[in-house]
Amino acid sequence: MSTTSGRLSALSAPSVGDNVEARLRSLHQIAKSRYAFIDRIAIALYDADLDLLKTFISSNGASDALLRYEAHLADVPSLRELMLQRRSRVVDDIEQRFTAPTAHTEWLKSQGYCASYTLPVYQGEVLVAFLFFDSRQVGVFTPEVTAFLDLFAELAAQLYLSRASAVRTLIGAVNLACGLAGQRDVETGQHLRRIGLYARLIARRLSGRLRLSDEYVEYLHLLAPLHDIGKVGIPDRILLKPGRLDPDEAAQMRSHVELGVQMVDHMIDDLGLGGDLAARMMRNIVAEHHERCDGSGYPLGLSGDHISLEARIVAVADVYDALSAVRYYKPAWDASAYIAELRRQAAAGMIDADCVEALLADPAACDEIRDRFADPLGAPPFVDHTAFSDLML
């Protein structure tokens, strides 16, 4: 492990009380006061674009939580049926009901869970999550209990949905501001989607070592694409210039960080999200994604453990995409070249070595993201734009 990441493990973990998981734990205690056999409440998110179920939050601590688990809904027919029929499900005896050795079932059995009650969560007509109540006693989810839990589930679901809505409102406000400001098509939506997915890949790989919650990983995935929002304030003559920037132009380009922070701060204040985990992460990403571990970055020259983990992850994801994807000013580098460049920068202390190795550890997943979300054909022709050192302005 690099020295930088080792020092940052404690700083990177979300603090108790500012996240959805802490609120879910409070709700769990209320439910247990009536039905003591309810041993766990958990929410798994559903990403319809990827047909992917992802663990998100659980009312139990890390020692009793299913972390970093994901599965395609198409591969979980029992839950897919709940989605299609919009109905809940009681399992009185997990040991007897589920005999197929899936990772989720085996985990439930290993933790001693014997019964469960599962409900799909919708936002309008769209499935957004599944809510699970688990017990270490058999046959406890009677009609009386599930009638109560149906009402309780509404509260738990709204807890998640209200927080998710606040995060999406923040993201939507940023995107709207970009549109109103005439954001130019310099960085395509596909590029931004790739950044989010690469960042998620890095965070998932590091999450066990650094004790990152699934909530943290999910917010990072959503917020990473917004790192360069301040570029809406950069004039076209600089942003779209095909050649190398002169010193004054480069300084103005670098001002996009301060512009982005101003935008985020106004929106966080207006939406009343001060102190919220997602809002704090978004500000860190916008403010620090051009800082470098050796102190050579900007605007503050932060180094080491003064740079948030989320910003260091996004920086590595951005460099990786800049090298590995075709852009209008450069062709894609081949794998051996961009791997060598990433490791060179890591060895020089510019970017985080642990984040680099976390990303490079799964080349198949990186290739799948790059191929699935490739930029459309017909992009502007290649221009010999500038040296790599200027790409990350």
Q: How far is CA 363 from CA 1, 203, 380, in A?
A: 20, 15, 28
Indicate whether 233 pLDDT > 70: yes
What confidence tier does 10 reach under pLDDT thresholds 50, 70, 90?
very low
Which tens digit of pLDDT belongs to each residue from 284-322? 999 999 999 999 999 999 998 899 999 999 999 999 999
- Beta strand spans in 68-156 (E): 70-72, 89-91, 115-123, 126-135
- 3-class DSSP assignment, residue 291: coil
The alpha carbon torsion through 362, 367, 373, 375 (nearest 10 deg) reads 130
The secondary structure of residue 295, as a DSSP letter, is S
* pLDDT winner (highest mean) among 99-103, 108-112, 276-280, 340-344: 340-344
| pTM higher than the cut 0.85 | no
Indicate whether 205 pLDDT > 70: yes
What confidence tier does 99 reach under pLDDT thresholds 50, 70, 90?
confident
* R_g of the chain computed on alpha carbons: 23
In terms of Cβ atoms closer than 10 Å to its own Cβ (0-12, 13-18, 19+), residue 205 is: buried
Give the per-residue pLDDT at 210.
92
Residue 319 in contact with residue 390, Cβ under 8 Å? Answer: no
All structural domains of the chain: 7-163 (3.30.450.40), 181-390 (1.10.3210.10)
Q: What six digits make up the tokens of 149? A: 């839990």
Indicate whether 328 pLDDT > 80: no
Average pLDDT, the chain: 82
Indicate whether 173 pLDDT > 70: no
Which stretches of 72-142 are DSSP H helices? 77-85, 94-97, 103-110
**Percent of the chain residues past pLDDT 70, beyond the cut:** 81
In terms of Cβ atoms closer than 10 Å to its own Cβ (0-12, 13-18, 19+), residue 48 is: exposed
Q: Which amino acid is at 12?
A: S
- Residue 174 to residue 382: CA distance in whole angstroms: 30
* pLDDT winner (highest mean) among 123-127, 159-163, 263-267, 358-362: 358-362
pLDDT, mean of residues 178-197: 66
Give the per-residue pLDDT at 60.
80
Indicate whether 181 pLDDT > 70: no
- 3-class DSSP assignment, residue 382: coil
Q: What are the residues whose beta carbons fall under 8 Å from the beta carbon of 99, sequence distance 6 or more? A: none
Give the per-residue pLDDT at 1.
35
Give the per-residue pLDDT at 13.
39
What confidence tier does 163 reach under pLDDT thresholds 50, 70, 90?
low
- 3-class DSSP assignment, residue 126: strand
pLDDT, mean of residues 80-84: 92
Indicate whether 187 pLDDT > 80: no
Range with lowest mean pLDDT among 156-165, 215-224, 266-275, 380-389: 380-389
The CB density around residue 17, as the number of other CB atoms within 10 Å, is 10
